[in-house]
A and B are shown apart, each in its own frame.
Chain A
Amino acid sequence: MARAVPVPLALFGAGRIGAIHGRNVAAHPRLRLAHVVDPMSNAAVALAAACGARLSSAEEALADPAVAGVIIASPTDRHLDQLLAAAAAGKTIFCEKPIDLDLTRARGASGTLAGARLMFGFNRRFDPNFQTLAGRLASGSVGRLETLNITSHDPGPPPLDYVRISGGLFRDMTIHDFDTARWLLGEEPVEVFAAASCLVDSAIGTAGDVDTAKILLRTASGKLCLISNSRRSGHGYDQRIEAFGSAGMARAGNVSESTVVTWSEAGLVADRFQNFFLDRYAEAYRLEMDHFAEVLAGATPRVGLADALAALALAEAAEASARAGRPVRL
């Protein structure tokens, strides 16, 4: 079989997550990074050089007829404008979560975006451990799924500059868990209750955000989901799922840096958890870019516009619930 010529892509945003995607594109046999678009970043220069791409303006990148696809990994408040521009240019799009900070604005653009080939970077759907868990649930090995506990604690809080533009804990962090819940429950949550506090860093509270939360989701059939969030866990990146069914329970645990344990008089010492998303979800990022290559070749995106809007709707409902101290219907 003849090897296809790699598909040229443009990357918007050369920050932390942009660099992951850019390098995964460069390493992918069917993809090539042609343009890096980031007006104000030295990191963009380094990334473009490392990936064999050139620095371009958004207009240049979108006007390049060779570019088939665009990856949007810019700050969240730029996502929607860039989505609309890329869609207008007829590009296939990979967009980081969340779609926007404002649900009404995102819904307003959904008519225009509905015709675009578009996938969203809910990377946990591509994590091999979580995919195996989903496969076990689908195979019926725990019977009928009844409840779900999702634990999602970051190792440490982000810089305050990031907190201020993040859209808040629910849009920035819990949005992953909302997507995971929808994916695994196989049913839409109809109501959300969120209890949140600022326990980690009072500066986060001063910036108007929270850093610790317990959130409940309820579906029409009565399935319940508990989400535990913290911006700081003293023990590393804590990412676990437990799915309770009528015939058993399936869980995906944390991934450790090594499998080595030592025993002494004091007890057992195991290795630390892989620290933060660059390590823990490295394979998920590779696999979601591989899926984007399939989408570019004609496959249907596994995480689309409806998923992005549904997760953002849950985030806004959770924020409203935490503020009002009452459950909120979707």
Chain B
Amino acid sequence: MGAIHGANAKAHPGLKLAGLVEPRTEPARALSVALDCPIVELGAMLADPRIEGLIVASSTDSHLDIVLAVLRAGKAVFCEKPLDLDLNRLRAHEAELASPAAPPQVAFNRRFDPHFRALKARIESGAIGELETLQLISHDPAPPPPAFIPTSGGLFKDFTIHDFDVARWLMAEEPTEVFAWAACLVDPAIGAAGDVDTARLILRFASGRLCAISNSRRSAYGYDQRVEAHGSRGVALVENPRVSTVESWSTAGALAAPLFDGFAARYARSYAAELDHFVRVLDGSAAPTTGYEASERALALAEAAALSLRTGAPVRLADV
């Protein structure tokens, strides 16, 4: 993620990348060359009055400490999701993180995807009447390395967290209950690490509206990212973009170009757009779209889903 945000920052006319905070490993050196900025210490950046903001794309377990340090240094911060893996720890810092003076921008990038934004606009235009149910399909092309699993926080905090945020955003209502079933069907190493790789979840909202989420850590046909919004007068869909619009037809049938092979290509425009939004946060012309509240709600949903999976019963958000 750091490489993506770094490249976008380097390319943005309103930003100058001053330093890369990383241990001096070979990949970090290569990235610093590619980004044309030196490897630096976090402390030096925080003490440097010329530095206006930091982008935090480190491993998830380090997010919160760095974000708090940046805020205490009086600088703006853009942080990858999730803000933290521990709901209680996150809540303990609510006063600082939710401060209207300098709230962090947390990178729920799908809110900046042009396709998802167009869907949201269609819903709000009344094109499908009253929104009633959502179906989110979110399947990764391939599972992460098994070594990543123990630090990831598990499927729900690492992966479904995006879908939880999308569900809240599109419904414009808080889920009140979550039910999750999951299994390890893709890679036994994920199961051995105590996680799952395949899931179906149902969210219920106070109004009775429902959202179903499909997750898999592996989809052999590419990155499958779709939304169906069913309303009283129609349905609105986000389909998968393909790497090209070419189709070929033969006696065997039709062959379309494949889906994108991962988030870097599929969501390239969203990453650029969310960083552009951060530039507007820096110059004071916009407020962060997703900060403490979005992070806290999505993490609460992830913990509720994990609890539902353990207990085999639906979990009320009020109990998390």
A-B interface, 4 closest residue pairs, ranked by CB to CB distance from nearest: A222-B183, A197-B208, A234-B233, A234-B234
Q: Is B60 an interface residue (CB 8 A)?
A: no
Q: Are B235 and A233 in contact (CB under 8 A)?
A: yes
Residue of B nearest to A245 (CB): B220
Q: Are B219 and A244 in contact (CB under 8 A)?
A: yes
Q: Are B132 and A230 in contact (CB under 8 A)?
A: yes
Q: Are B198 and A147 in contact (CB under 8 A)?
A: yes
Instruction: Name the segment of A40-48, A210-218, A289-297 touching the other chain.
Output: A210-218
Give the distance in Å from the alpha carbon of A117 to the alpha carbon of B24 in the complex: 77
Residue of A nearest to B199 (CB): A224
Give the distance in Å from the alpha carbon of A226 to the alpha carbon of B203 in the complex: 13
Instruction: Name the segment of A79-87, A246-254, A278-286 touching the other chain.
Output: A246-254
Residues of A within 8 A of B235 (CB): 233-235, 238
Q: Is A307 an interface residue (CB 8 A)?
A: no
Residues of B within 8 A of A228 (CB): 133, 135, 212, 230
Q: Are B132 and A224 in contact (CB under 8 A)?
A: no
- The interface bits of chain B over 201-228 (1 if a CB of A lies within 8 angstroms of the residue's CB, else 0) are 0101000111110101011110010001
Q: Is B168 an interface residue (CB 8 A)?
A: no
Q: Are A326 and B216 in contact (CB under 8 A)?
A: no
Q: Which of A176-200 contact B (CB under 8 A)?
A: 193, 195, 197-200
Residue of B nearest to A326 (CB): B313
Q: Is B73 an interface residue (CB 8 A)?
A: no
Give the distance in Å from the alpha carbon of A193 to the alpha carbon of B200 in the complex: 11
Q: Is A301 an interface residue (CB 8 A)?
A: no
Known: A193-B202, A199-B132, A246-B220. A222 touches B184 (CB 8 A): yes
Give the distance in Å from the alpha carbon of A235 to the alpha carbon of B231 in the complex: 9
Q: Which of B177-198 contact A (CB under 8 A)?
A: 179, 181-186, 198
Q: Are A226 and B214 in contact (CB under 8 A)?
A: yes
Q: Is A256 an interface residue (CB 8 A)?
A: no
Residues of B within 8 A of A248 (CB): 220-221
Residue of A nearest to B197 (CB): A146
A188 to chain B minimum Cβ distance, whole angstroms, is: 16
Q: Are A214 and B219 in contact (CB under 8 A)?
A: no
Residue of B nearest to A215 (CB): B202
Q: Is A35 an interface residue (CB 8 A)?
A: no
Q: Is A232 an interface residue (CB 8 A)?
A: yes
Residues of A within 8 A of B314 (CB): 193, 195, 325-326
Q: Are A216 and B202 in contact (CB under 8 A)?
A: yes
Extra contacts besides A151-B135, A244-B219 (12): CB < 8 Å:
A147-B198, A147-B200, A149-B135, A153-B230, A193-B181, A216-B179, A222-B183, A224-B198, A228-B135, A234-B233, A246-B218, A249-B221
Q: Are A244 and B216 in contact (CB under 8 A)?
A: yes
Could you list some 12 contacts between A and B, CB below 8 A?
A149-B137, A193-B202, A195-B179, A195-B202, A216-B181, A222-B184, A223-B185, A224-B181, A225-B200, A226-B212, A233-B230, A234-B231
Q: Is A75 an interface residue (CB 8 A)?
A: no
Q: Is B119 an interface residue (CB 8 A)?
A: no
Known: A193-B179, A228-B212. A216 touches B232 (CB 8 A): no
Q: Is A15 an interface residue (CB 8 A)?
A: no
Q: A-B pairs with CB below 8 Å: how many?
A: 115
B45 to chain A minimum Cβ distance, whole angstroms, is: 44
Q: Which B residues lie at the A interface, using CB under 8 A?
A: 128-129, 132-133, 135, 137, 139, 179, 181-186, 198-200, 202, 204, 208-212, 214, 216, 218-221, 224, 228, 230-235, 312-314
Interface size for chain A: under 10, 10 to 19, 20 to 34, or 35 or more residues? 35 or more
Residues of A within 8 A of B221 (CB): 248-249
Residues of B within 8 A of A226 (CB): 135, 200, 212, 214
Give the distance in Å from the alpha carbon of A327 to the alpha carbon of B309 in the complex: 11
Q: Is A143 an interface residue (CB 8 A)?
A: yes
Contact of B183 among A224, A232, A249 (CB under 8 A): A224
Give the distance in Å from the alpha carbon of A232 to the alpha carbon of B133 in the complex: 12
Give the distance in Å from the alpha carbon of A9 to the alpha carbon of B180 in the complex: 49
Give the distance in Å from the alpha carbon of A23 to the alpha carbon of B241 in the complex: 44
Give the distance in Å from the alpha carbon of A232 to the alpha carbon of B209 in the complex: 14
Residue of A nearest to B183 (CB): A222
Q: Are A199 and B208 in contact (CB under 8 A)?
A: yes
Contact of B219 among A249, A326, A327 (CB under 8 A): A249
Known: A212-B132, A216-B179, A234-B232. A146 touches B185 (CB 8 A): yes
Q: Are A216 and B200 in contact (CB under 8 A)?
A: yes
Q: Are A147 and B212 in contact (CB under 8 A)?
A: no
Q: Are A146 and B212 in contact (CB under 8 A)?
A: no
Residues of A within 8 A of B182 (CB): 224
Contact of B210 among A142, A214, A224, A245 (CB under 8 A): A214
Q: Are A146 and B216 in contact (CB under 8 A)?
A: yes
A280 to chain B minimum Cβ distance, whole angstroms, is: 16
